[in-house]
Amino acid sequence: QVQRSPEIQASRLTLPVVAEEQKIMEAIHNNLVVVVCGATGSGKTTQVPQFLYEAGYGSTDSSTPGLIGVTQPRRVAAVSMAKRVSDELGEDSRKVSYQIRFEGTTNDDTAIKFMTDGVLLREVATDIALRKYSAIIIDEAHERSINTDILIGLMSRVVKLRQELTPIETEDVEFGDFGDAQVDFSDSDSETEIISTGGQGDGHEFELGESMASTSPMHILPLYSLLPTAEQLKVFEAPPEGSRLVVLATNVAETSLTIPGIRYVFDCGRAKERKYDRTSGVQSFEVSWISKASANQRAGRAGRTGPGHCYRMYSSAVYERDFEEHAQPEILRMPIEGEQNDQRGWGAADDRSLLTTKSAPQELYFSSRLLSYIGALDSTGQLTDLGGTMSVFPLSPRFAKILVIGHQHGCLPYIIAIVAALSVGDIFIPEHQLDLGLDSRETEVGEGKTALFDNVARLEEDRREVRRKAYFKTHKLFSRLDNTCDALKLLSAVCAYEHEEDQESFCETNFLRLKALRETHKLRWQITEITRTNCPGVTGPFEPKLSPPSELQVKVIKQIIAAGFVDQVAIRADLAPNPPPTLTARRSTRAIDTPYLTLFPSVSHSTHGPPADDDDGVVGRIDPAVYIHPSSALATASAQLLPSYVIYSHIQRSAGPSSRIRMKTLTPIT
């Protein structure tokens, strides 16, 4: 019997899911797999784990002693939901834990474990029967994230296997949010609004409602995934007395997080999505219309605890004409290169029946093509010894390969640092995110000029100039080991960070992301430990502070990094065997204008639209070349001295129809 506080007890009783407890538990007792659908905020995430717990799941003196596992697509949801359920359980609060990549609170007492889907995916890789668990809840299954999709596929296997192993009861519960959420709640607390920004609305005008015109001050908080966790959790705190909470959120707030007391939602109808061209391998970020399902989801965030409203900043005509019914599942949009490839270690990714979405074979083909390039698979598709060693690392195959070959000339600690940093990503804050150019303010000032505005503008300009200079100076410092190699620049940043006493202010002054570097630190430790366990004698205990690599080591590191990306190499166009004449005719003076050609064609019609050969008779206006990204170490090199070959981590097209395809370079081949 769980003892809950009277307030929690009262608020639980208002949740639709609680009224269905009997029905849900009966379904779980009588079936191996149960799908629970219900409006957002109806209590699925917080209540169903408690139903299971109260029915004896996760307690040692029952027939179902295994843990109740709950997966979430996002870390912040795993942490905050664990906290909420723990609070609701009163005296049993210690029974709830969370586990995200490097952080967890699981202990002997744990009965309910919230985790990211990636964490469970890794656990399946070590124990396909998931013996630790008596029930698995896959939350937000409707979101179709790659990890969740693969997990659901795997679960069908897990359930069967467990039936064969022991006739003990096993259940999967999957949740999805469906339908327009209109649930009645009685008490309304502080006035709260949410604004969803994923891009720009179409400028549709709307009337301000009565309470919208409220004059109480606004307490504005941002919410997005790169924001440090402590900052993210602030949206759950009550705003200062007498003020209105306004949350400016990305898609994070669309589903997994329910911020209590949201009254109004402003939906711009847009989302910024990463797109991936399967044929060319080019990635791009595009702001486009969301799906009808997402729009309903966003609307459902308003009025959970009182009257509410969603202001849609687009017309119903746009909604009907331009919105798809559902968003395309991520597995069809993105390359499978990350953690999912772990499955390869035990041969499961070969099995297409595992995937819930049928049209992924092309993706699997590319995924195995990559694995054979880097030597993880042999010509018959079997896992090689190298591939076997690679699969023990919680990393994408490329990075695993780099590690396995990385212990020459004492380079392994450096290689581990680089791989960790590349794997975590987003270490450097890009120039365009630096508050260096406040264009809107400039135009505003330009109109009704006054002396005061002039002065303010000049001060602003001076301040920006100082920041810009500091930014370039910092990047120059990080390039000291080698001014052409981005992998080594990353290494310099990681090493400098580790030597610093006050890491927080170091990151601040050097335009680095503290959150990413902290994670890199943990990943370095984890990789070092895995290496020590699996390849005894190859490396010593984790030593965060490294001395600078020798000249020989610098050379070797570059070669090792290149070996993991053998298929992502580009040649300077003027040196190519048959360079397209349009490319060699031009002489470029700037590094970022110098054309390169990738080993595999990086241009396909789907990324560019059809070639313009019928209107003016000129065929081949499509630019077949790729160019160095302005953020690359090579971008500042003189065009005459650019390397013949470069290795890139990925290629991407920036927004705009005439934009070029840019390489994020990793290292030149010298």
Under the criterion CB under 6 A, does residue 192 sit at the interface with ligand ADP?
Answer: no
Query: Using CA atoms, how far apart are residues 315 and 531, in angstroms rounded to an integer?
Result: 56
Tokens, residue 379: 């010509």
- Sign, CA torsion 653/148/327/301: negative
Which one of 34-42, 58-66, 514-522, 600-608 is the stretch in contact with ligand ADP (CB under 6 A)? Answer: 34-42
Q: How far is the CB of 68 from Mg ion (least distance, A)?
A: 15
Burial class (CB in 10 A: 0-12, 13-18, 19+), 182: exposed
Q: How far is the CB of 252 from Mg ion (least distance, A)?
A: 13
Which one of 39-47, 183-191, 224-232, 499-507 is the stretch in contact with Mg ion (CB under 5 A)? Answer: 39-47
Query: Using CA atoms, how far apart are residues 632 and 591, in angstroms rounded to an integer?
Result: 10
Under the criterion CB under 6 A, does residue 260 sit at the interface with ligand ADP?
Answer: yes
Q: How many CB atoms are closer than 10 A to CB 24?
A: 20
Q: Of these, 24, 28, 34, 40, which contacts ligand ADP (CB under 6 A)?
A: 40
For ligand ADP, how many residues bind (rule: CB under 6 A)? 15
Q: How far is the CB of 657 from Mg ion (least distance, A)?
A: 39
Tokens, residue 100: 């995200």
Nearer to ligand ADP, 12 or 555 (CB): 12
**Torsion, CA 278, CA 283, CA 289, CA 291, rounded to 10:** 50
Query: Using CA atoms, how far apart are residues 68 and 83, in angstroms rounded to an integer?
Result: 15
Number of helical H runs and strand E runs in the chain: 23, 19
**Left (φ > 0), alpha (ψ -120 to 50) or beta: where does 448 sit?**
beta
Least Cα distance to 661 among 623, 634, 613, 605 occurs for: 623
Positions in 406-465 near Mg ion (CB under 5 A): none
Residue type, 435: D
**Left (φ > 0), alpha (ψ -120 to 50) or beta: where does 537 sit?**
left
Which one of 36-44, 106-114, 338-346, 433-441 is the stretch in contact with ligand ADP (CB under 6 A)? Answer: 36-44
Cβ atoms of 250 and 298 within 8 Å: the answer is no
Query: Using CA atoms, how far apart are residues 412 and 432, in angstroms rounded to an integer?
Result: 34
By a kind-dependent CB cut-off of 5 to 8 A, residue 42 interacts, out of ligand ADP, Mg ion, none, with ligand ADP
Q: How far is the CB of 114 from Mg ion (least distance, A)?
A: 11
Under the criterion CB under 6 A, does residue 43 sit at the interface with ligand ADP?
Answer: yes
By a kind-dependent CB cut-off of 5 to 8 A, residue 84 interacts, out of Mg ion, ligand ADP, none, with ligand ADP
Which one of 25-33, 41-49, 218-226, 618-626 is the stretch in contact with ligand ADP (CB under 6 A)? Answer: 41-49
Under the criterion CB under 5 A, does residue 45 sit at the interface with Mg ion?
Answer: yes
Under the criterion CB under 6 A, does residue 71 sit at the interface with ligand ADP?
Answer: no
By a kind-dependent CB cut-off of 5 to 8 A, residue 338 interacts, out of Mg ion, ligand ADP, none, with none
Under the criterion CB under 6 A, does residue 46 sit at the interface with ligand ADP?
Answer: yes
Under the criterion CB under 6 A, does residue 236 sit at the interface with ligand ADP?
Answer: yes
Cβ atoms of 561 and 417 within 8 Å: the answer is no
Nearer to Mg ion, 45 or 340 (CB): 45
Strand, coil or helix: 91: helix
Under the criterion CB under 6 A, does residue 45 sit at the interface with ligand ADP?
Answer: yes
Query: Using CA atoms, how far apart are residues 195 and 193, in angstroms rounded to an integer?
Result: 7
Q: Which residue is nearest to Mg ion (CB)?
A: 45
CA distances from 492 to 472, 486, 499 (A): 15, 10, 11
Under the criterion CB under 6 A, does residue 148 sit at the interface with ligand ADP?
Answer: no
Nearer to ligand ADP, 43 or 338 (CB): 43
Q: How many CB atoms are closer than 10 A to CB 129?
A: 16
Q: How far is the CB of 291 from Mg ion (least distance, A)?
A: 19
By a kind-dependent CB cut-off of 5 to 8 A, residue 43 interacts, out of ligand ADP, Mg ion, none, with ligand ADP
Least Cα distance to 108 among 117, 97, 100, 118 occurs for: 97
Least Cα distance to 550 among 408, 378, 424 occurs for: 408
Which one of 37-45, 208-216, 335-343, 600-608 is the stretch in contact with ligand ADP (CB under 6 A)? Answer: 37-45
Q: How far is the CB of 41 from Mg ion (least distance, A)?
A: 8
Under the criterion CB under 6 A, does residue 44 sit at the interface with ligand ADP?
Answer: yes
Name the site residues for ligand ADP (rule: CB under 6 A): 15, 38, 40-47, 84, 236, 258, 260, 304
Name the site residues for Mg ion (rule: CB under 5 A): 45
